[in-house]
A and B are shown apart, each in its own frame.
Chain A
Amino acid sequence: MYAQMIKTASNGIKPREEMSEEERAFQDKIDNDIKIEPRDWMPEDYRRTLIRQIGQHAHSEVVGQLPEGNWITRAPTLERKAILLAKVQDEAGHGLYLYSAAETLGVSRDELIELLHEGKMKYSSIFNYPTLNWADIGAVGWLVDGAAIVNQVALQRTSYGPYARAMVRICKEESFHARQGYDAIRAMAFGTPEQKRQAQDALNRLWFPALMMFGPSDAESTHSEQSMAWKIKVKSNDELRQQFVDQTIPQIEYLKLDLPDPNIKWNEERGHYDFSEPDWPEFFNVIKGNGPCNVDRMKDRVAAWDDGEWVRDGLLAHARKKAARKVAAE
């Protein structure tokens, strides 16, 4: 989710009889739900696909701090400000867990950050939408983190050990994010008419971008098959999207807000809510770099990296000097 449209580094699933002995043993482990650990043998394509997916996931956590950071100084109360600060700090931590998981696959964090800044890696499309007012911050926690949880709970069962363990930690913290978001939007939905209007507006604007977080429909998601066989992906995009819709509609109804899509309707036969597909051409356009905030987000990320260079270098120079002195003294 935070990883969308990950191109699997392979040309379809290899039939078992074409697999080498190592590949067969690897696939057997996955089929038996035995986790793959960093130093275990793994196919090169598995490793490459995981680096792409975990890297994109990590980038999303870090870029995701920007739309929320925008509101820290303007939170309506000191309590809301402390909560938002804690949430944004968590996102930095999530980025760190994920970069660490990716690093066990033989890529360094700085390399991944460079690839992002060169435009060779992406982050989730959702963070290319603006947060226009305080209600958006509530809606982001509730819907965006809510959607993230649906995806990440599934990923706790992913086949790569370090990734699965990072997900366990992240899910624990993410639950706080969704609940504080719902709490903030609830205060507005039951507040003054103007506050309620803003809550409704935030829901209307963020609903479809939240649905897009799960990636294109299964029919269009051409790379899923191998990732599912490797249990890098555990559930399909459409399955996860449906789960998110089903759990969120009653939450909207509780707030007495209007549903953001006229086609949302309970389908007795399927046992799920029907809903409209998001505007997929818009999604592909945002992914390509033409969303409302793509340029600003990358500018802010690159500036943070460049402006922090003297601090990183200074601390390292100091550490090296101290280490050299210690050696000299011995």
Chain B
Amino acid sequence: MLELRKITGAYGPVKAVDEVSLSVAAGEILGLMGRNGAGKTTLLKTIMGLVPKRTGSLLLEGEELIGLPAHAIPRRGIAYVPQGRRLFSELTVAENLRMGLLVKDAPQAEAERVLDLFPILRERLSQAAGTLSGGEQQMVAVARALCAQPKVLLLDEPSEGLIPAVTHRILDTVAALRERGVAILLVEQQVKSALRICDRIALIENGTIQHEAPARDLAADPVPLERYIGVHR
């Protein structure tokens, strides 16, 4: 589905992401883990065309995306939920979702399908997004991204700042997206959560992928996690 071949992203002379090669298939969740400043968010931004200098090859279902402007990438089918939710706080929940729908002229029925995943949002549709709780804002952020009917979903720390119960609910919903055939690249700091829902995990340090393995293998042998993240699960 999404294939990165020797992707490099740089701010001037500084390479924040260095020759990263990864792939994520339809219906698969690939976890991306690493210490703060390891290059996780920058890798997602590089995919989205937000890093000024990009080289390498970025293929979505065989189509090359390198060279496209940033606004064209979501239209090809990659949705990005950035760290910290980043909603349009003055717009209502319904309008935030509509922003997602309009990108690809998706029908209103798509919003209904998405709301089935987050039923609590039905009660909040006319509420300004900025007035929601953190967990609800995260749900809106994911829901808005899904309204654009993405083939690939990039999630940057969806559990950040949320209580465990809410994190659990959101990640369970993310895991359920497998059935819809969405390929997911998930940046997650919480090791237990990542091991629970990811199929594979890539460990990143200094902008390069150091280790990649099925999640169950890392659960059985946590040495790479200790080495590259510095925590035991």
Partners in one complex: no
Instruction: List A residues at the B interface (Cβ < 8 Å).
Output: none
Instruction: List B residues at the A interface (Cβ < 8 Å).
Output: none
